[in-house]
């Protein structure tokens, strides 16, 4: 008989998951020490997809995937590739904290899709939270300073990070139509594979810089694949045994906070008062939207972002 984990162990697993995923932006910065953003994201997804496919290979062989579902997986992989690529590019232009915050706004975009496209009823509280979130993003985007590799282009970084959040929302909206048909490992294995294919094609097409023998870049790439993606994903899945999907979704609000703290320590990044106020408003708005949205499907919630 297996012993029931203690409370501190259960919360520890969830904390480790968010720390591992929150550190992704730090690893991403290191990965681009000698590599281009598209190449770095392509290599990260390639390594991660190989690991997931190796783990799910036996189970994947036992199932028959209809052609229409495989096309859907490919489309979801394309959305993921846009998500990762735009997020990596954003880290060149804006701070880690702001980039991570904006790319984690996908729940707000999925809620907006459900309300506008699927015509699901929305309360005044939802629209007020969405408007407040937009105000927070506006405060962030109108800030001229940015702690990044290329200064003076914070708006470009903010835009790319927001595109990354919208792309991940598109992924979630599409994948939830088949989430009950397949296990998480099968879904992740196929979508990561297609994302890696699209990113590799993009990296080669744009002649994005290869990391070569640069150990810092390879260290960042491997750390993202092993720690942020593999460890973070596994810990997040494990936490769903003890927490509801909505609770796990709420915990993702810790990711930009962890990322910002780590960036302040490692890269000495500082946010202006306007950015702090805007970020706080966005986090509060996201918390309200997640609260209104209610429980999220476990299969889609378990897939890490970023």
Give 223-282 pLDDT, tens digit per residue.
999 998 888 877 876 776 777 666 777 788 888 989 999 999 999 888 888 989 999 999
pLDDT at 246: 66
Per-residue pLDDT band for 200 (boundaries 50, 70, 90) equals very high
Residue-averaged pLDDT of the chain: 85
147: helix, strand or coil: coil
Do 119 and 230 meet the contact criterion of CB atoms below 8 Å apart? no
| Residue 33: pLDDT band with limits 50, 70, 90 | very high
**Angle subtended at Cα 102 by Cα 87 and Cα 303, rounded to the nearest 5 degrees:** 65
CB neighbours of residue 161 within 10 Å: 28
Interhelix angle 273-293/96-103, nearest 10 degrees = 20
| pLDDT value, residue 294 | 61
**Residue pLDDT, tens place only, 144-181:** 655 665 666 788 999 999 999 999 999 989 988 888 78
Phi-psi region of 166 (alpha: psi -120 to 50; beta: other; left: phi over 0): alpha
What does pTM read for this prediction?
A: 0.88
C-alpha 116: how far from its chain's center?
23
Please report, rounded to a whole number, the percentage of residues in the chain having pLDDT higher than 70: 87
DSSP letter assigned to residue 274: H
Write the pLDDT tens digit of every residue in 79-123: 999 999 999 999 998 889 999 999 999 888 988 998 889 888 888
- Cα–Cα distance for residue pair 181/72, rounded to 1 Å: 13
Identify the residue with better confidence: 203 or 292: 203
């Amino acid at each position: 008989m297996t012993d029931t984990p203690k409370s501190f162990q259960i919360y520890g697993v969830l904390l480790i998951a968010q720390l591992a995923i929150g550190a992704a932006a730090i690893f991403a910065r290191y990965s681009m020490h000698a590599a281009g953003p598209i190449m770095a994201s392509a290599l990260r997804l390639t390594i991660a997809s190989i690991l997931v496919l190796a783990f799910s290979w036996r189970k994947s062989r036992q199932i028959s995937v209809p052609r229409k579902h495989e096309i859907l997986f490919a489309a979801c992989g394309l959305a993921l590739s846009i998500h990762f690529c735009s997020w990596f590019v954003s880290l060149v232009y804006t701070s880690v904290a702001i980039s991570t915050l904006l790319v984690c706004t996908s729940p707000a975009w999925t809620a907006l899709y459900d309300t506008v496209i699927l015509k699901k009823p929305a309360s005044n509280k939802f629209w007020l939270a969405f408007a407040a979130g937009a105000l927070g993003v506006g405060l962030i985007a109108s800030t001229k300073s940015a702690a990044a590799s290329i200064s003076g282009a914070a708006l470009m970084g903010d835009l790319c990070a927001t595109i990354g959040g919208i792309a991940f929302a598109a992924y979630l909206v599409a994948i939830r139509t088949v989430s009950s048909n397949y296990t998480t490992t099968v879904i992740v294995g196929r979508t990561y594979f297609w994302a890696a294919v699209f990113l590799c094609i993009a990296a080669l097409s744009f002649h994005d810089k290869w990391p070569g023998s640069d150990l810092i870049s390879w260290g960042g790439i491997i750390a993202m694949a092993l720690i942020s993606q593999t460890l973070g994903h596994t810990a997040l899945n494990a936490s769903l045994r003890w927490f509801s999907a909505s609770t796990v979704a709420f915990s993702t609000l810790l990711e930009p906070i962890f990322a910002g703290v780590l960036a302040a320590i490692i890269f000495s990044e500082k946010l202006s008062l306007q950015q702090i106020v805007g970020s706080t408003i966005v986090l509060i708005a996201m918390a309200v939207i997640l609260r209104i949205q209610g429980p999220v499907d476990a299969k889609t919630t378990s897939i890490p972002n970023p």
